[in-house]
Amino acid sequence: MVMSHTDYAIHERAFKALDSFLIEIPSWGFANTGTRFGKFVQAAAASTIEEKFADAAEVNRLTGVTPRLALHVLWDLPNGLKDVSAVRELERRYGIRSGSINPNLFQDQEYKFGSLCNPDAAIRERALAHVLDCVEIGKALGSRDVSLWMADGSNYPGTQSMRKRIAWLEQALREMHDRLAPNQRLLVEYKPFEPAFYHTDIADWGMANHFARHAGPQAFVLVDTGHHYQGQNIEQIVAWLLHSGMLGGFHFNDRRYADDDLTLGSIDPYQIFRIFHEIHCAQYEGLKLDIAYMIDQSHNLKGKVEAMVQTVVTAQELYLKAVLVDRERLAQLQQSCSLVAAEELYRGAFWTDVRPLAREWREARGLPADPLAALAESGYVERIAREREKRNTAVSSYA
Ligand code: LRH
Ligand code: MN
């Protein structure tokens, strides 16, 4: 089939985009997770760091775009720096590199009233020691990003000084920043509420932006798509962070209500398309970007490896749809305020079925055309379920 010049240009643009699109997967996405109302155990779930690397390797074998695994320190390196050599061994054995290092400042009992924002200076010190350990773990593993989310906040008005907590956190993040190696970055993740339900110390992009700027030039903002109030224009926040050079990365997931951590594109695929459009426009207009694309989901009901493969494929497809927008033509229509024509061009790309193009790219790169079908044919999930089911038994109730 002879391709027209336009088709050829689109084909080249699509292949170039898919070649550059890598997405990091979370170790915790393979583990048995639940809600406060319970956890439905899956026989195939990963409960050791080795099993998480094995599952990540399977996802990368099938998709070719997930060479890095995000690690959550207390869950994956419970002994901190002492676990680094074991993780390096797993990296070699499974061909998967360690990705972002996620400190855990929300699990320990002493963090009841906060960690880096706790009124008790000794508790703040211990929290700071943990994040500084995470910086050292990142250096030892050659990971670039230390990705910080804090549950810190309060549940009742008048019970905490929000301004004192701002000052304590500014100080701690500055000390953390100053410990970073030249190639490391600190990503500051915001979240409006949960588990705190009156105030959260890093509640929105403005606060995260302030703390990142105050910490230093290697600190940036991380946008978790599930961490926004209903009706918030997330792609506008992304446009602002692109404009100010403060966009460090994403935690992709989907939601109907709050931080539901559902699989990407399952509720509002158009949301992710609108975000990718802002990024492609910025690149098209010459902005030098360094964005960490990461998945942050908890697969409470779907099969965990299946859900991860489905999510990666969906992310590729939405990234590709946004690449197809004719930016030159759109800029003209925006300039002439040709609203309907601009919207039809923009939305037209979203309506485009890019799955044949994505399949073609996979075949050209020696990858399974349909990763989900290849996973089913591989028998991988059935095999790990047999190997792991004895360890994956039912859990105790919430209360
Ligand atoms: C908090 C969050 C954070 C992770 C956790 C697993 O809601 O998004 O990024 O540490 O989920
Ligand atoms: Mn997150």
pTM of the shown model:
0.97
State the Cα–Cα distance between residues 33 and 350, nearest whole angstrom: 33
CA of 331 to the centre of ligand 2 (A): 33
CA of 63 to the centre of ligand 1 (A): 24
CB atoms within 10 A of CB 396: 7
CB atoms within 10 A of CB 191: 24
Enclosing H/E stretch for 174:
helix 162-178
For residue 191, which of 138, 163, 229 has the smallest C-alpha distance?
A: 229
State the Cα–Cα distance between residues 248 and 189, nearest whole angstrom: 10
CA of 24 to the centre of ligand 1 (A): 14
Query: Is the CB of 261 within 6 Å of ligand 1?
Result: no
For residue 168, which of 136, 134, 211, 130 has the smallest C-alpha distance?
A: 211
Query: Is the CB of 191 within 6 Å of ligand 1?
Result: yes
Euclidean distance between the first and final Cα of the chain, in Å?
A: 64
How much is the pLDDT for 396? 57
Nearest CA to ligand 1 atom 4: 149
* Atom of ligand 1 minimally distant from the CA of 259: 7
Nearest CA to ligand 1 atom 2: 149
Query: Is the CB of 32 within 6 Å of ligand 1?
Result: no
Helices vs. strands in the chain: H and E counts, helices first: 15, 10
DSSP for residue 261: -
CB atoms within 10 A of CB 134: 28
Mapping DSSP onto H, E and C, the string for 334-356 reads HHCCCHHHHHHHHHHHHHCCCHH
How much is the pLDDT for 381? 98
Each residue's pLDDT, cut to its tens digit, for the chain (399 residues) gives: 567 777 888 899 999 999 999 999 999 999 999 988 999 999 999 999 999 999 999 999 999 999 999 999 999 999 999 999 999 999 999 999 999 999 999 999 999 999 999 999 999 999 999 999 999 999 999 999 999 999 999 999 999 999 999 999 999 999 999 999 999 999 999 999 999 999 999 999 999 999 999 999 999 999 999 999 999 999 999 999 999 999 999 999 999 999 999 999 999 999 999 999 999 999 999 999 999 999 999 999 999 999 999 999 999 999 999 999 999 999 999 999 999 999 999 999 999 999 999 999 999 999 999 999 999 999 999 999 999 998 887 655 555
State the Cα–Cα distance between residues 31 and 383, nearest whole angstrom: 16
> Do 274 and 250 meet the contact criterion of CB atoms below 8 Å apart?
no
How much is the pLDDT for 184? 98
